[in-house]
Amino acid sequence: MGRPAAATRDEVLAAARRAFVEGRRIEVRAIAAEFGASRATMYRWFGSREGLLAEVILGEMADLFEQADKQARGRGAARVLDALTSVNQRLIDNPPLRAFVAMEPSALQVLVSCSGLVHPGVVRVAEAYLERVAAEDGFRPPIEIATLAYAIVRLSEAFIYDDSPAGMRHDISRLREVHTALLGIGRPDPEAEA
Q: Cα–Cα–Cα angle for 77, 82, 84, nearest 5°? A: 90
Q: Are 129 and 152 in contact (CB under 8 A)?
A: no
State the pLDDT at residue 193: 46
pLDDT below 50 — which residues of the chain? 1, 3, 165-168, 192-194
Query: DSSP assignment, residue 24?
Result: -
Residue 39 CB neighbour total at 10 angstroms: 10
Closest among 51, 56, 15, 55 to 36, alpha carbons compared: 15
Q: How far apart are CA 129 and CA 46, in angstroms?
A: 25
Residue 166 · residue 147 · CB < 8 Å = no
| Class of the CATH domain delimited by 53-186 | mainly alpha
The domain ranges of the chain are 9-46, 53-186
Check residue 101 and give its pLDDT. 86
Q: Which long-range contacts (CB under 8 A, 24 or more apart) does 141-144 make?
A: 141/77, 141/183, 141/184, 142/182, 142/183, 142/184, 142/187
- pTM for the model stands at 0.84
Question: Cα torsion at 186, 191, 193, 194 (round to 10°)?
Answer: 170
pLDDT of residue 104: 87
Distance CA 145, CA 141 (A): 7
pLDDT of residue 90: 93
Instruction: Establish how many alpha carbons lie within 13 A of residue 162's alpha carbon, considering only the half-sphere containing its beta carbon.
Output: 16
pLDDT at residue number 102: 86
Looking at residue 189, its pLDDT comes to 55
pLDDT at 7: 81
